[in-house]
Amino acid sequence: MKFSALERNWVMYDVGNSALVLLNTSVVPIYFSAINTGASSADLVSAWANAQTIASLAVALLMPILGSLADYAGNKIKFFLGFFLTGLVLCFAQALPLSAFAFLIIYVLCTVGLNSSMTFYDAMLCDITTDERMDAVSSAGFAWGYVGSTIPFIACLGLIFGGPGLLGLDKLLCTRLSFVITGAWWLVFTIPLLKTYRQVHGKERTVKEKFLVNMKSTFQGIGNTMSAIAKNKVLLLYMVAFFFYIDGVHTVISMATSYGASLGIDSTQLILALLVTQFVAFPSAIIYGRLAGKLGTLTMIMVAVLAYVGIVLFAAFFLTDAVEFWILAFLVGLFQGGIQALSRSYFGKLIPKHQANEYYGFFDIFGRYASVMGTLLVSVVTSLTQDPSLGVLSIGILLLVGFVILIKLAGLQKQAELSSAS
């Protein structure tokens, strides 16, 4: 499908921010382990899980309020820019020689900036394309994000592994410089969107409201949106299902490297395996977008959820060495982009476009609180049992609950189609 210039620029932001996401899920946990000397493997997994939990919780609490404010005409780009710049500055700040605790604080704040900008970015999808093109455009964003992010990532790997021998630089310094490379990449691929995006759908201002009056109407709007979601059975069921199944997706992504390191797998193997994930995810995400057009978006989401159940079981019971981690990385790549892209676009089709930010704010509540629950569950189970495998296994229950709700949602939609046909 041929994309418009605005659609291409929107996709480019996925290319930019995915570089930092890839760095965060591969190199950063290993770097954190290197500067956090003396900690046990279980302590490292727990600390990393707690950091993910705090970052996700902060985004989940902020987004409904800020999303409602951003729905006013012209506000969306301002909120997007503010959180993007916050994340960018803190990305560069991680290059400073910091203690493990100070680094973790800056990492959490940077992650809040990154993930918050992505909430407003997701809501832009309603402005830059139509419902009919939404699956394909959303899938293209994830697909090109996966393959594009490998370019700065390979440069970072070359510096980390080649810098000490070729340039005589300390390996930790080379790792810190990778934040500079990644931040620069993120900036370059964000500029086209900033130049061309214009908000189409939004709540119009009838008067120049004072701040307190504006905040009051914002909270009233949040209450009205909550009521509307509660009355819309299809939307409510989907959001509850999303709450459970996306937990497995986010937790597998955020904890994979840390979990692999706790099993004693070499850091080089971990990073290279995750690099393969990106290349596998590129065609898989595009194929998923096309299959959604033929088989239905909801059907393909359900296929991916079942696949993630299998992935979690494999990680808990069979993952012991580098070869099996490579297999895990390949399997994740097959379904990761598809389930994220279709979850984003399916939600966009169900909501009123003029309140996209507000609804995507609630979408993030369900998605981020699921991440809070997942990583916290891994942290608690791992700490209590001193066995990271049991922590990973606990995620499978949540995925199954999400799948059961999706089955109910599919039945509800089929009934609605039969009723409209008769």
Strand, coil or helix: what is 74? coil
- CA-based nearest residue to 245, from 352, 73, 374: 374
Q: Report the pLDDT value the prediction gives residue 216, as an integer from 0 to 100.
A: 60
Q: Report the pLDDT value the prediction gives residue 212, as an integer from 0 to 100.
A: 47
Q: Is 275 left (phi over 0), alpha (psi -120 to 50) or beta?
A: alpha
User: Hunting for tokens 């290993």 — which residue is that?
Assistant: 30
Strand, coil or helix: what is 129? coil
Query: Tens place of pLDDT for every residue, the chain, 422 residues?
Result: 688 899 999 999 999 998 998 888 778 877 887 877 666 666 666 777 778 778 877 877 777 677 666 666 667 788 889 999 999 999 999 999 888 788 888 999 999 999 888 878 888 888 888 878 888 888 888 888 888 888 998 898 889 888 888 887 888 888 899 999 999 999 999 999 999 888 776 666 555 555 445 556 666 666 777 787 778 888 889 988 988 888 778 777 766 666 676 677 777 777 777 778 878 888 888 888 888 888 888 999 999 999 999 988 888 888 778 888 888 888 888 888 788 888 888 888 888 777 776 677 677 666 655 556 777 777 788 778 877 778 778 888 889 999 999 999 988 878 877 776 66
For the chain, counts of helices (H) and of strands (E): 15, 0
Q: Report the pLDDT value the prediction gives residue 268, as an integer from 0 to 100.
A: 75
Instruction: Please name the residues in contact with 256: beta carbons below 8 A apart, sequence gap of 6 or more.
Output: 25, 274, 328, 329, 332
User: Hunting for tokens 């301002």 — which residue is that?
Assistant: 78
Instruction: Please name the residues in contact with 17: beta carbons below 8 A apart, sequence gap of 6 or more.
Output: 114, 117, 118, 121, 145, 186, 190
d(CA 236, CA 241): 9
Q: What is the dihedral of CA 168, 173, 174, 175, to 10 degrees?
A: 150
User: Hunting for tokens 């995006």 — which residue is that?
Assistant: 197
Instruction: Please name the residues in contact with 212: beta carbons below 8 A apart, sequence gap of 6 or more.
Output: none
d(CA 13, CA 388): 34
- CA-based nearest residue to 104, from 140, 147, 50, 26: 50
d(CA 193, CA 191): 6
d(CA 313, CA 392): 8
Structure tokens at 349: 């089709």
Strand, coil or helix: what is 293? helix
Instruction: Please name the residues in contact with 67: beta carbons below 8 A apart, sequence gap of 6 or more.
Output: 119, 120, 123, 357, 358, 359, 360, 361, 362, 364
